[in-house]
């Protein structure tokens, strides 16, 4: 009997489940494994090797963890520190305007980059404990990059220095728990001071300065970001794409753009451009499928009487509805186009609701109990202009909808302030940008693939740092803000009653000097001397490593977003505290590979 035939049990009834045929489908012969003898497993259950088991037999697996290598106390922390130092050494050479590049090479690709988080992610060490230290610092870099978009190298340097001075203190007898408590108290107070002293971003010059610094002192990138934000506003979105040429350009997209085009080229109105172009169309917005043409006949008749086109945004339409629309469009009876709903799940409904608000339409959702059949022309929205390509749809709103759109933007911003998910925050920001009609696309060009990759990374850093600066303001750059904050620590730790807490504060004080010192050293000058001079200057002043002079860094445009400076310190202290309070570590032991053949003396060498 074929494997597709019905199978009957002993009593003549149909089996609810037919065991799959195991064997050669051409000859219908069973495989040898099905003829294997039954055996008894570790738990006394009878099984048949390689054959289909009865549903009554429960199979259990005995899982045993591999052997562990255990390292405790000082050796544990020293091994972690060794891995952290190796990563920090590779990343630290990129810090500052005169930092060096790093080459990343594998069997297929070669990259020359100056981006701290990218370098950090590429590092993996052979020693398991040292590599654990690497992974901890990679976590710092990823967190800072996600939160602020820049400052990853500085955060890595701070973490390394805090761990270094903290381990020295522990070796001298300090209690790591008390130290960690003191470090956290100190940092909380420093962040309060930092926010009080941050300077609001005002004007195009500040934006250019922040973007240029984040891009490695690339003024061309600074001009790009400043121009883009000037055109799209603070609620806009900057998209970065590769260009097909060697030139880098900016394209400003007006209106709400969604990533869905027309369902069929039969709807095209501009044959030269292969686009659908409607002026003042009515808009139907629904998350339901239109199954019969009778559902929308009243709406089609009404728009035809008014002499206006109809844009239908729906989950789908049936073949009958599609044919009816195309035939009537061809005969000139109606002007209509269909676009499928963009997105999936909750994201789809959110975007459809945004479109409904933007056009003044009722969102005909099944969840809300609104059907297409009972829809009236009053539930249709209106747009100033709609342009549809094969892949995208751009909707320009009517000026009369300005207040409703602004209210919707405020609601999304509230959701944005409450979310902890970076991905969700990015999607909410995109929705705000679409509603506000501000999207700038930077087409990045380069002569080589390596140059393109490096330039895109720089522009991405600049973009994210600039938006962070507009949120929390700016502080003096070049590591000067950290040096000035270090001078506040003695007065902060003066109130600490516990000696170990005071030591924790002092560890932070010493570590905060490292970024400015390293920036100076990478510029070829004495880092210690530079730090001493910065200490004696006012809050806005410091060392401009690019120009090689001391000056008012804010006026000179050498600034960092407050968010970048804050996040770098917070995450560095968080990971450093974890390392300093670690007493033991367990990692998998390296196993020797088994030989492919047994070694037989006298036969195999």
User: Residue 235 has what pLDDT?
Assistant: 74
Q: Is 593 a residue whose pLDDT tops 50?
A: yes
Query: In the chain, what are the domains?
Result: 1-57 (no CATH), 70-199+477-587 (1.10.560.10), 203-254+438-472 (3.30.260.10), 256-434 (3.50.7.10)
Q: Of 118-122, 163-167, 482-486, 582-586, which range is least confident? A: 582-586
User: Residue 598 has what pLDDT?
Assistant: 57
Q: Where are the beta strands (DSSP E) in 37-153?
A: 38-40, 46-48, 68-72, 102-105, 110-113
Nearest to 520 by CA among 562, 481, 478, 583: 478
pLDDT band at residue 509 under the 50/70/90 scheme = very high
Backbone phi, psi, residue 231, to 5°:
-90, -35
Structure tokens at 146: 């996600």
> What are the Cα distances from residue 546, in Å, to 112, 217, 220, 533?
21, 8, 16, 17
Calpha distance 102→340 (Å, rounded) = 46
3-state secondary structure 446-460: CCCHHHHHHHHHHHH
CA torsion, ordered 372, 378, 381, 384, to nearest 10 deg: 140
> Regarding beta strands 282-286 and 363-364, do their DSSP bridges make them parallel or antiparallel, or are they unpaired?
parallel
Structure tokens at 233: 């506003």
User: Residue 440 has what pLDDT?
Assistant: 85
Nearest to 287 by CA among 341, 355, 345, 342: 341
How confident is the prediction for the chain on average, in pLDDT? 84
* Cβ–Cβ < 8 Å for 158, 148: no
Average pLDDT on 348-374 reads 91
- The separation between the first and the last C-alpha atoms of the chain, rounded to the nearest angstrom, is 55
Taking only the tens place, the pLDDT of each residue in 7-50 is: 333 444 333 343 444 445 444 444 444 434 444 443 344 444 44
* Cβ–Cβ < 8 Å for 393, 261: yes
Q: Of 71-85, 328-342, 371-385, which range is least confident? A: 71-85
* Cβ–Cβ < 8 Å for 253, 439: yes
- Rounded to two decimals, the pTM is 0.67
What percent of the chain stands above pLDDT 70? 85
User: Residue 66 has what pLDDT?
Assistant: 58
The more confident residue out of 181 and 2 is 181
pLDDT band at residue 525 under the 50/70/90 scheme = very high
* Cβ–Cβ < 8 Å for 52, 20: yes
The more confident residue out of 438 and 496 is 496
Alpha helical stretches, state H, 198-242: 203-214, 219-232
Q: Is 186 a residue whose pLDDT tops 70?
A: yes
CA 454 to chain centre: 18
């Amino acid at each position: 009997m074929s494997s597709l035939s019905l199978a009957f049990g002993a009593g003549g009834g149909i089996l609810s489940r037919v065991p799959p045929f195991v064997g050669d489908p051409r000859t219908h012969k069973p495989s040898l494994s099905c003829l294997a003898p039954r055996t008894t497993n570790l738990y006394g259950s009878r099984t048949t090797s390689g054959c289909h088991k009865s549903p009554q037999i429960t199979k259990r697996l005995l899982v045993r963890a591999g052997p562990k290598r255990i390292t405790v106390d000082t050796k544990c922390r020293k091994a972690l520190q060794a891995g952290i130092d190796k990563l920090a050494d590779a990343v630290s050479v990129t810090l500052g305007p005169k930092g060096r590049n790093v080459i990343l090479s594998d069997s297929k690709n070669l990259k020359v980059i100056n981006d701290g988080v990218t370098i950090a992610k590429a590092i993996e060490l052979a020693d398991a404990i040292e590599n654990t230290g690497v992974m901890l610092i990679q976590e710092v870099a990823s967190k800072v990059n996600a939160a602020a978009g820049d400052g990853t190298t500085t955060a890595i340097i701070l973490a390394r220095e805090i761990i270094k001075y903290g381990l020295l203190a522990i070796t001298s007898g300090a209690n790591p728990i008390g130290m960690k408590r003191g470090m956290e108290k100190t940092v909380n107070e420093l962040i309060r001071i930092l926010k009080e002293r941050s300077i609001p971003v005002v004007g195009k010059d500040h934006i250019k300065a922040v973007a240029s610094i984040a891009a490695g002192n690339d003024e061309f990138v600074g001009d790009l970001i400043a121009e883009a934000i000037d055109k799209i506003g603070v609620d806009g979105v900057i998209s970065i794409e590769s260009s097909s040429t060697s030139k880098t350009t900016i394209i400003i997209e007006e209106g709400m753009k969604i990533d869905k085009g027309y369902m069929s080229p039969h709807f095209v109105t501009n044959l030269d451009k292969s686009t659908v172009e409607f002026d003042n169309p009515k808009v139907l917005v629904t998350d339901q499928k239109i199954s019969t043409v009778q559902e929308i006949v009243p709406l089609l008749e009404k728009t035809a009487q008014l002499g206006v086109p109809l844009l239908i945004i729906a989950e789908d339409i049936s073949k009958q509805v599609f044919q009816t629309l195309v035939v009537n469009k061809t005969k000139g009876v109606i002007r209509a186009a269909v676009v499928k709903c963009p997105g999936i799940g909750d994201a789809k409904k959110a975007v459809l609701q945004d479109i409904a608000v933007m056009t003044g339409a009722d969102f005909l959702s099944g969840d809300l109990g609104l059907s297409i059949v009972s829809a009236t022309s009053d539930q249709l929205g209106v747009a100033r202009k709609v342009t549809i390509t094969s892949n995208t749809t751009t909707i320009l709103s009517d000026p009369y909808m300005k207040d409703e759109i602004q209210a919707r933007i405020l609601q999304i911003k509230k959701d944005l302030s409450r979310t902890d998910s970076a991905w969700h925050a990015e999607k909410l920001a995109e929705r705000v940008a679409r509603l506000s009609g501000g999207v700038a696309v930077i087409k990045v060009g380069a002569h080589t693939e390596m140059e393109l990759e490096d330039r895109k990374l720089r522009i991405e850093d600049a973009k994210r740092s600039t938006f962070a600066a507009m949120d929390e303001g700016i502080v003096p750059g070049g590591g000067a803000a950290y040096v000035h904050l270090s001078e506040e620590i003695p007065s902060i730790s003066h109130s600490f009653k516990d000696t170990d807490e005071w030591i924790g504060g002092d560890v932070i004080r010493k570590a905060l000097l490292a970024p400015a010192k390293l920036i100076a050293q990478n510029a070829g000058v004495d880092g210690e001397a530079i730090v001493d001079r910065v200490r004696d200057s006012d809050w806005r002043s410091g060392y401009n490593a690019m120009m090689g002079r001391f000056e008012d860094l804010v006026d000179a445009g050498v600034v960092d977003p407050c968010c970048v400076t804050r996040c770098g310190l917070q995450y560095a202290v968080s990971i450093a505290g974890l390392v300093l309070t670690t007493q033991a570590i367990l990692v998998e032991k390296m196993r020797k590979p088994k030989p492919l053949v047994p070694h037989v003396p006298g036969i195999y060498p």
